[in-house]
Amino acid sequence: MYDLGIIGGMGPEATVEVFRRIILYAKADEDQEHMNICVLNIASIPDRSQAINTNNYELIIHLNKAIEDLRQLGIKRYIIACNTAHYFVSKLKKYDDLIFIDMVLETVKYIKSKGIIEAIILGTTGGNLIYKRVLGEVGIKVRPLDEKTQNKITKTIYDIKKNGVRKSHKDFIPTVITELIDNDLEQICILGCTELSLLKEVSYKRLPVIDPVDVVVIEAIKKCGFHVKDKYKAI
């Protein structure tokens, strides 16, 4: 019996990172105390940003098929290891016996609980749309990026997908965050793309950053009835 399902492949390396953090963050003294996890690495799912920009919703078929597969396996809870894919959540199949742990909703809930009044979203233009909407619903202002900065971030995301994390990425994104943040305001930068989460351990120390991968991983561990290691509770 599985405790959790992960719909991934968007991209594959980011999916590995989500899985890795679950194993890293959950309390377990031996193999048998870890969660039983089913990872569906469906790399053939169409590009999420392109689907949003062209109104091509073929990927919904892929996501709904994955949901059906998880349900057939008897899985009771699942997450989607892609921020931008959450744009399509309202169109996905819903079942009383299969609970979706929403990365975007959980992240915004966490930010709201911290009293943050303004957020800067670092992600694809598609992923930014879903965060902007949900943040607006709870009264958190979104500071828009200028077109040049947004294009550079998008290019970085797709370069990570193609070539993996490189030193130029590790240097560029923290520089952008430092330039954007106003230290006099209660601001936060959201890593709105899982490729940017791959840089977390080498690039974001002491910067005002919220990583949705951390948020959803911790929520998934708790909602599946497991415990989070003390040192990972403060994200």
User: Does one domain contain both 203 and 219?
Assistant: no
User: Does one domain contain both 201 and 219?
Assistant: no
User: Does one domain contain both 75 and 147?
Assistant: no
Which pLDDT belongs to residue 181? 83
Determine the Cα–Cα distance for residues 64 and 47; give it in Å rounded to an integer: 16
Structural domains in the chain (count): 2
Which pLDDT belongs to residue 56? 82
Could you read off the pLDDT of 14-37 as tens digits, one per residue? Answer: 999 999 999 999 999 999 999 999
Please, which pLDDT band fits residue 57 given cuts at 50, 70 and 90? confident
Could you read off the pLDDT of 184-195 as tens digits, one per residue? Answer: 677 899 999 999
User: Does one domain contain both 191 and 118?
Assistant: yes
Please, which pLDDT band fits residue 152 given cuts at 50, 70 and 90? very high
Q: Dihedral (C-alpha) 160, 166, 169, 174: value to the nearest 10 degrees?
A: 130
User: Does one domain contain both 228 and 148?
Assistant: no
User: Does one domain contain both 127 and 184?
Assistant: yes
User: Does one domain contain both 95 and 127?
Assistant: no
The two tokens of residue 158 are 């797709």
Half-sphere exposure (Cβ direction) of 86: Cα atoms closer than 13 Å = 31
The domain of 195 spans: 104-212
Compute the mean pLDDT over every residue in the chain, rounded to the nearest whole number: 93
User: Residue 24: which CATH number?
Assistant: 3.40.50.1860
User: Does one domain contain both 10 and 43?
Assistant: yes
User: Does one domain contain both 131 and 206?
Assistant: yes
User: Does one domain contain both 108 and 207?
Assistant: yes
Which pLDDT belongs to residue 90? 95
User: Does one domain contain both 109 and 198?
Assistant: yes
pTM: 0.94
User: Does one domain contain both 83 and 119?
Assistant: no
Determine phi and psi for 142, rounding to 5 degrees.
-110, 125
Determine the Cα–Cα distance for residues 71 and 213; give it in Å rounded to an integer: 23
Which pLDDT belongs to residue 53? 87
Average of per-residue pLDDT across 92-112: 97
